[in-house]
Amino acid sequence: MRRIRKDDQVKVIAGKDAGKSGRVVKVFTDRNRVLVEGVNYVTKHERIQQSRGGAQEGGILQTEAPVHESNVLPVCPSCGEATRVAYVYEVEGDRRSKLRSCKRCESTF
């Protein structure tokens, strides 16, 4: 189970955008990186190319780049603070499910 999942609210704790928070758009599990909405903007120079409608697209674009997952902490929905993640096992009959838990208020999310 991953510490950070898609659609989690996270807070950046290191790097040029430290202190900002946003929603996780995509998780790159093979590279241990996450794409966070509104964080880590980079400048890309795009070549002008002809599109189907005849319009030309290109120029200097601002896009979001992935951040390493060790530089973000999930925000607990109940206490609203950036927190570390603990894991709790919940038993229902013969099934056992693993849930993420807040280290501060010990609520599951």
pLDDT of residue 52: 74
pLDDT of residue 9: 97
pLDDT tens figures, 13-27:
999 999 999 999 999
Contacts with 56 (C-beta within 8 Å, 6 or more apart), sequence order: 48, 49, 50
For CA atoms 97, 101, 107, 109, give the dihedral sign.
negative
pLDDT of residue 24: 98
pLDDT of residue 2: 87
Query: For each successive 10 residues of the chain (109 residues), what is the average pLDDT?
Result: 92 96 97 97 90 77 96 96 95 93 93
Q: Answer yes or no: pTM beyond 0.95.
A: no
CATH of the domain spanning 1-75, picked from 1.10.10.10, 3.30.360.10, 2.60.90.10, 2.30.30.30: 2.30.30.30
Q: How is the chain split into domains, by residue range? A: 1-75, 76-109
Picking from 88, 82, 92, the residue whose alpha carbon sits closest to that of residue 107 is: 88
